[in-house]
């Protein structure tokens, strides 16, 4: 399987997992940017029917698919995300999710 197809499949798994956790999520198709998936969740902090307070959490996620030979060699992606994390709002996080071949779940790292 080519690396592009493997990466897209890992991104789809990421979106599916986030949606199951109550987030809205989408892949940034055809993007050459640093993030493969953007997800968000809005929830009420104060349940006031007259107009309570709400909070939104936003997640910018870089997804990597790796074979066993490559392991967790994602140093350059981690470095790029650290630089970008300085410019995200306080309610947002930059994350790196790695899918290893034959794995049952992602290895997740929150950069900021």
The rounded distance, in Å, linking the Cα atoms of 106 and 66 is 11
pLDDT at residue 42, as a whole number:
83
DSSP assignments along 71-82, one per residue = TT--HHHHHHHH
pLDDT at residue 95, as a whole number:
93
The rounded distance, in Å, linking the Cα atoms of 26 and 84 is 20
Per-residue pLDDT, averaged over 78-86, amounts to 88
- Provide the residue range defining the domain that includes 50: 3-110
- The pTM of the full predicted model, rounded to 2 decimals, is 0.83
pLDDT at residue 68, as a whole number:
67
pLDDT at residue 92, as a whole number:
92
pLDDT at residue 70, as a whole number:
63
The rounded distance, in Å, linking the Cα atoms of 29 and 34 is 12
How many other β-carbons are positioned within 10 Å of the β-carbon of residue 23? 18
Q: What is the H or E stretch that residue 7 is in?
A: helix 3-20
Domains contained in the chain, number: 1
| Domain CATH for 29 | 3.40.1350
Q: What is the pLDDT of residues 2-59, one digit of tens each?
A: 788 888 999 999 999 999 999 999 999 776 788 999 999 987 666 656 566 677 899 9
The rounded distance, in Å, linking the Cα atoms of 99 and 89 is 27
């Amino acid at each position: 399987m080519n690396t592009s197809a493997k990466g897209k499949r890992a991104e789809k798994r990421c979106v599916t997992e986030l949606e199951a956790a109550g987030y809205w999520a989408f892949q940034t198709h055809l993007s050459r940017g640093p993030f493969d998936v953007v997800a968000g969740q809005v929830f009420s902090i104060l349940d006031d029917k007259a107009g309570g307070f709400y909070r939104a959490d936003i997640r910018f996620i870089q997804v990597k698919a790796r074979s066993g030979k490559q392991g967790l060699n994602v140093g350059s992606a981690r470095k790029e995300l650290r630089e970008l994390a300085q410019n995200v709002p306080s309610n947002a996080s930059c994350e790196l999710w790695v899918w290893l071949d034959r794995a049952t779940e992602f290895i997740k790292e929150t950069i900021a």
